[in-house]
Structure 1
Amino acid sequence: MLELQGLEKRYATGDLALKGVSLQLGAGEVVGLIGPSGAGKSSLIRCINRLVVPSAGSVVFDGVDMGRQNARGLRAARRRIGMIFQEYALVERLTVMENLLSGRLGYTGFWASWFRRFDARDIERAFGLLERVGLAGMEDKRADALSGGQRQRVGIARALMQDPRLLLVDEPTASLDPKTSRQVMRLLLELCQERGLAAIVNIHDVVLATEYLPRIIGLRAGTVVYDGPASGVDQRVLTHIYGDEDWSAITRQIPGGAAQADETLAPALALQEAAA
């Protein structure tokens, strides 16, 4: 469904954010993207939908080479890629319903969207999504009146209004308290399972990532140094991703990590050795 080959990104400053990243994602597969600040995680997910233009390599989504599309083709492909942002990216002065319906702008003509003339089926669908994400009855509240957790739920529902096949999720829990973070992660996973969606979740919280995301991709300095099951993330893997530290407190919280690490670590170590 999604294939990255030799993806690189060098910014105008000369910084090389991504160095030959190659990976595949199957339909309905959900993965966590971890790594230190500056490892290239946000650059990677933004290169996929070309919010950032890669310097080299290819992104093929549903058989479409994103780098070979004209403006119309790129718009069509982006309709099937939902983006969920760390800072929610809501229009503060608009209502919850208006923010949700903005997720249909890729399908709605300019003048219809300008005058907020949305299809009745889209409005009905938006009400259903609000109920599913736990915000029933809040359609007329302004976005700036919502809590952080509520805003993130609006962002999730808005992305689903696109009818995506892939979700790109950038730090969905960074601004949330621990309880709300777990609720949001649980909701994301449930929605992906219900709708058969694939997702790449950029997340700093290693414990949360390994608890909810079955496959983990570790980036360090723009290079993939781990790609394997969450249970294989042990002290050696974390040291290779983040650097020297006592990781025992974290690895004790990784589900099944200690018991299964030896069996699942081989692919990760092969990647580490290749990157060394």
Structure 2
Amino acid sequence: MLRLEKLVKTYKTGDQALKSVDLEVPDGQVLALIGPSGAGKSTLIRCINRLVEPTSGNVFLGGVELTGLSSGNLRKERRRMGMIFQEYALVERLTVMENVLSGRLGYVSFWRSFLRKYPQKDVDEAFRLLDRVGLLEMADKRADELSGGQRQRVGICRALIQDPALLLVDEPTASLDPKTSRQIMRLICELCKERGLAAIINIHDVALAQMFVQRVIGLRFGAVEFDGPPDALTPVVLTTIYGEEDWEATIDKIDEEGDEPEAAE
């Protein structure tokens, strides 16, 4: 379980990105973070793995307090938190397989990683993951030869090969077309269910969040304005989170009929 206690982030400018956020995420639960730009969604995710240092408060993952760890112990605990990025964060000149295996860097020696000599069990798991996301035949392609959806699938594999207890997902569909966005969200949620993984997904598309996740957290000015099931996101609630807007179309579910697996490019 992930637990946040009174998490605060105040920048040197005096801007308060997070205001005493309390949150519990049980194992296996997938939740979406929604809210306007500047609400603190990305900051919250990055405070959990301490890519951004919280100003105060506590973060616990499976009973370990992350906020109190030394840099060495933090590196070990970060292996339990897989990160999926909006812009994929792949090494373009490396192959798909090499990018996936980079998720094991925290587990192998410097020389093994430098020489790209990963244990056979890691290679086998990389192949299995690529097969699961439909990219097995692309294992030897360079990352810069892939479409956006394919790159995101590689990023998912890289996160999962860490064998994490938690997935932190930052705008995974922002650079994708609507159809591919649905495919990626569906894949993330299916993989979390298969592995009993908790996940926090920062997402700007409210309708997409409603379609796939079990729980929604709405942030506004760094504070939690909503915490509940997707079907409770009424126009009134969305107005509280985002401000004035016509939300009637937003709360309608996307028609998924005709979805097909993404074609290789």
Q: What TM bracket, shorter-length normalisation?
A: over 0.9
8 Å CA contact 1:239–1:245 kept in 2: the answer is yes
Structure-2 residue corresponding to 1:205 = 205
Name the structure 2 match of 1:165: 165
User: What's the offset of the Cα at 1:75?
Assistant: 1.3
Over the matched positions of the two proteins, sequence identity in percent amounts to 65
2:245 and 2:147 map into 1 onto residues whose CA distance is: 35
**How do 1:100-249 residues align onto structure 2 when only pairs under 5 Å count?**
100-249=100-249
Q: Secondary structure at the match of 1:47?
A: helix
- Secondary structure of the residue that 2:151 maps to in structure 1? helix
Name the one with the larger helix percent: 1
Structure 1 residue runs without a partner (length 5+): 256-276
Aligned to 1:269: none
Alignment deviations for residues 105-124 of structure 1 (CA, whole Å, 9 cap, x no partner): 01011111011110011001
What amino acid does structure 1 have at the position aligned with 2:4? L
Provide the aligned C-alpha RMSD in A: 1.1
Whether the 8 Å CA contact 2:207–2:252 is kept in 1: the answer is no
Deviation digits for residues 143-188 of structure 1 (CA, Å, limit 9, x no counterpart): 1111000000000000001000100000000000011000001100
**C-alpha deviations, 1:190-233, integer Å up to 9, x for none?**
10000110000000000000110110000000000000011100
Listed one character per residue, the Cα deviations across residues 71-103 of structure 1 (whole Å, up to 9, x for unaligned) are: 221111111100000000000111101001100
* Residue identity matched to 1:209: A
Q: Supply the distance in 2 between the matched residues of 1:247 and 1:139 (Cα, whole angstroms).
A: 42
Gaps of 5+ in 2: 256-265
TM-score (normalizing by structure 1): 0.91
Residues in 2 aligned to 1:108 and 1:196: alpha-carbon distance in whole angstroms: 25
The one-letter amino acid of 1:154's match is V
Distance (whole Å) between structure 2 residues aligned to residue 211 and residue 142 of structure 1: 33
8 A Cα contact 1:133 1:153, kept in partner:
yes
TM-score, with structure 2 as normaliser: 0.94
Q: Is the 8 A contact 2:96 2:143 kept in 1?
A: yes
CA distance in 2, matches of 1:241, 1:78: 31
Query: Runs of at least 4 residues of structure 1 off by over 4 A?
Result: none
Of residues 4-13 and 95-104 in structure 1, the stretch that sits farther from structure 2 once superposed is: 4-13
Q: 3-state DSSP class of the match of 2:31? A: strand
